[in-house]
């Protein structure tokens, strides 16, 4: 679960630290106070979009830190992600996601203080928190998203992933077949072109690491004269004779001999004498090393020209085939494979046709089983969604999950048919609905209003919550389009999700707010001629006042209504019906 949130210089927030509880955490506040800023900050900290507009005016960077306590099941998932990316992080205490964006547009992401790739960071964040905003409500209006919601309910995502793997394999084979089926003239042109590319790369006789070694050698040769002069100067300082015929080494030797005599008279100078002896030995060794270094330096214009020519060849090949010698060599290997495939011609095509046919049968078998699983789950899901919608005051609503297929002469084999397919299988899944009595059932996109869409999403989340292991769910203004009469039921549903999740919700409805276990109020004010957003955790009396404000102008009547709402929610939660059926998992 999310234990704490720390924000610095993000939008209108200068500095903010909040601690959260396990259950239902609620956020309220006037329009424009900054509620959405909190959601944006959490989304940013989970690896969402990064923009310099997030940085508070006058600041150099914006940063957001999330602190999580991980249940064992989630800890295992996170550890698997980290280990797959060679990241060894201790998760026994807590997991901390820390992200910042700087004014120059650069951002950094850290997990427990260790910088990591954005893709890894985002993957970890997706395991920990699920944010359900208005954009997700709109996903219900995109039929392509329906199949993924159904698969999540049916717990058949692993089957779909295996099917997708086979489909990717099939596409690779079909691309090769298409390449081999080009007309003879195109084949000959392709063969000649590939041979030219392979010969050009092979003639260069590239070796990994060669470019770096050549650049280093070029630097030495280009500075050979300067290196020789400097090493000569250093050597002369040690071995060269001064006007009295003594070298630097002679002077060190004289000092050592004098210290030897001094140490014989005064034992306290023994260490100084030993140091002098050591310096003489090191200076002699240094002189030998300098002489060797100086002797092996050669000024070779011919070698320098050869290196420049070699680097020019590498640069020219990099412009054609890749950004490094390694990539160029990999390109050559792929070209050889393609050339081999083309030259094998009909023999290779026959083999590929057999592989294609075999895969089409395997895909058909897997897709058929996946489809049966979906059809069985769709009936159960429809029934459960209808029951939830009844509780959400949509008593006359009908809801169905349509699972259909289409014939395709080039499709996969399913029994005696050939059906169209893609990486999700043979099924076209779409949610259908009739919102009112007597109306025909139609695609959801044609009949659902904004409020109905929000309620359907909540119904789905309620039904799917048992299979959803994401510990923290965030609902951004789920009350959009929902009236006060439905608000109490929505509040009950949201609180019910806390049986297996930590829940956050941004709302304007007092009926929903009354079910909160922890209530935060967002306000906007002025401090030092600057607008700032602050967040306060409300006590009991402050909660009653906030509920009263949500009901309308604060008055004795609204205060009484607020107290009644709070008491009714308290009684509902005290009964603990949902928690008794499904124990807290976080």
pLDDT bin (cut points 50, 70, 90) of residue 528 is confident
Contact (CB, 8 A) for 428 and 146: no
d(CA 480, CA 137): 10
Q: Average model confidence (pLDDT) for the chain?
A: 84
Rounded to whole angstroms, the Cα distance separating 520 from 491 reads 16
192 Cβ contact list (under 8 Å, min separation 6):
none
pLDDT, greater one: 436 or 480:
436
The mean per-residue pLDDT over the stretch 193-201 comes to 92
- Residue 216 has a CB neighbour count (10 Å cut-off) of 10
Residue 222 confidence (pLDDT): 66
Q: Tokens representing 67?
A: 């602190």
pLDDT tops 80 at residue 584: no
Reduced to 3 states (helix: H, G, I; strand: E, B; else coil), residue 219 is helix
- pLDDT higher than threshold 70 for residue 139: no
Structure confidence at residue 135 (pLDDT): 55
Asked if pLDDT for residue 413 goes beyond 50, the answer is: yes
158 is a domain residue? no
DSSP-derived 3-state class of residue 558? helix
Average pLDDT score over residue span 424-430: 94
Is residue 494 in some structural domain? yes
- Does residue 299 have a pLDDT over 70? no
In angstroms, the CA 522 to CA 12 distance is 12
Residue located via tokens 């779409």: 430
> What's the domain range around 129?
2-141+448-581
pLDDT over 90, % of the chain: 35
> Helix or strand or coil: residue 560?
helix
Residue 517 has pLDDT above 90, yes or no: yes
In a domain, 522, yes or no: yes
Distance CA 485, CA 392 (A): 9
Q: Please report whether residue 577 resides in a domain.
A: yes
Q: Distance between CA 363 and CA 411 in Å, rounded?
A: 10
| CATH code (residue 100) | 3.40.50.300
Within-domain flag for 363: no
Backbone angles phi, psi at 93, to 5 degrees: -90, -60
Res. 579: pLDDT tops 60: no
243 against 516, higher pLDDT: 516
Residue 411 has pLDDT above 80, yes or no: yes
User: Percent helix, strand and coil across the chain, each rounded to 5?
Assistant: 60, 20, 25
Dihedral Cα 434, 436, 440, 445, nearest 10 deg: -40
Nearest CA-CA partner of 256 in 241, 238, 239, 275: 275
pLDDT of residue 469: 72
Total domains present in the chain: 1
Q: Is the pLDDT of residue 242 over 90?
A: no
Assess if residue 548 is contained within a domain: yes
The answer to whether the CB of 455 falls within 8 A of the CB of 485 is no
Quickly count: other Cβ atoms within 10 Å of residue 372's Cβ.
12
Verdict on whether the full-model pTM lies above 0.75 = no
Joined tokens for residue 523: 């306000």
The end-to-end CA distance of the chain, in Å, is 7
**Residue 335 located in a structural domain:** no
Residue 585 has pLDDT above 60, yes or no: no
pLDDT for 92-104, tens place per residue?
888 999 999 999 9
- Could you tell me which residue, 281 or 239, shows the higher pLDDT? 281
Q: What does each C-alpha distance from 278 to 17, 239, 269, 286, 517 come to in angstroms? A: 59, 17, 14, 12, 75
Here the tokens at position 424 are 């999700």
CA distance 188 to 542: 82
Does residue 48 form part of some domain?
yes
* Each residue's pLDDT tens digit, 537-559: 999 999 999 999 998 878 888 99
Report pLDDT digits (tens) over 461-487.
788 776 667 788 888 867 776 777 788
């Amino acid at each position: 679960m999310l234990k704490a949130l720390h924000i610095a210089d993000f939008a209108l927030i200068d500095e903010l630290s909040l601690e959260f509880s396990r259950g239902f955490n609620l956020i309220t506040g006037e329009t424009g106070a900054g509620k959405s800023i909190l959601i944006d900050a959490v989304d940013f900290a989970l690896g969402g979009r990064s923009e310099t507009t997030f940085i508070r005016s006058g600041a150099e960077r914006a940063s957001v830190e999330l602190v999580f306590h991980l249940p064992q099941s989630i800890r295992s998932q996170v550890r698997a992600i980290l280990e797959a990316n060679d990241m060894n992080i201790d998760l026994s205490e807590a997991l901390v996601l820390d992200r910042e964006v700087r004014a120059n547009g650069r951002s950094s992401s850290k997990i427990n203080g260790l910088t990591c790739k954005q893709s890894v960071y985002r993957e970890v964040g997706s395991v920990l928190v699920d944010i359900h905003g208005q954009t997700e409500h709109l996903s219900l209006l995109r039929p392509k998203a329906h199949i993924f919601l159904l698969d999540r309910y049916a717990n058949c995502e692993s089957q779909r992933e295996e099917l997708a793997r086979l489909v990717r394999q099939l596409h690779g084979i079909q691309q090769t077949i298409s390449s081999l089926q080009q007309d003879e003239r195109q084949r000959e042109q392709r063969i000649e072109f590939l041979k030219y590319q392979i010969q050009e790369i092979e003639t260069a006789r590239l070796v990994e690491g060669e470019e770096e070694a050549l650049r280093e050698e070029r630097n030495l040769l280009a500075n050979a004269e300067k290196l020789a002069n400097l090493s000569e100067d250093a050597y002369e300082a040690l071995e060269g004779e001064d006007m009295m015929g003594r070298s630097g080494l002679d002077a060190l030797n004289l000092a050592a001999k004098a210290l030897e005599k001094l140490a014989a008279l005064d034992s306290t100078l023994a260490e100084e004498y030993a140091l002098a002896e050591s310096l003489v030995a090191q200076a002699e060794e240094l002189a030998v090393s300098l002489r060797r270094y100086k002797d092996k330096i050669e000024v070779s214009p011919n070698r320098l020209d050869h290196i420049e020519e070699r680097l020019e060849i590498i640069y020219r090949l990099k412009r054609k085939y890749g950004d490094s010698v390694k990539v160029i060599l990999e390109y050559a290997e792929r070209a050889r494979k393609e050339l081999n495939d083309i030259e094998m011609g009909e023999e290779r095509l026959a083999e590929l046709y057999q592989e294609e046919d075999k895969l089409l049968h395997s895909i058909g078998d897997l897709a058929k089983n996946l489809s049966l699983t979906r059809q069985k789950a769709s009936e159960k899901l429809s029934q459960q969604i209808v029951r939830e919608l009844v509780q959400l005051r949509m008593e006359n609503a009908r809801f169905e999950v349509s699972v259909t297929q289409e014939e395709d002469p080039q499709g996969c084999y399913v029994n005696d048919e050939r059906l169209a397919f893609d990486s999700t299988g043979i099924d076209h899944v779409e949610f259908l609905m009739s919102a009112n009595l007597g109306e025909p059932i139609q695609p959801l996109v044609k009949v659902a209003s904004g409020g109905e869409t929000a309620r359907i999403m909540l119904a789905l989340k309620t039904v799917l919550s048992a299979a959803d292991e994401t510990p923290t769910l965030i609902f951004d203004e789920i009350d959009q389009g929902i009236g006060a009469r439905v608000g109490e039921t929505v509040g009950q549903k949201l609180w019910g999700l806390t049986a297996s999740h930590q829940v956050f919700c941004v709302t304007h409805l007092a009926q929903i707010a009354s079910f909160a276990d922890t209530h935060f109020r967002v306000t906007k004010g002025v401090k030092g001629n600057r607008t700032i957003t602050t967040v306060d955790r409300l006590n009991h009396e402050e909660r009653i006042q906030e509920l009263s404000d949500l009901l309308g102008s604060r008055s004795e009547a609204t205060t009484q209504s607020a107290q009644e709402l709070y008491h009714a929610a308290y009684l509902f939660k005290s009964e603990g019906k949902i928690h008794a059926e499904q124990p807290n998992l976080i």
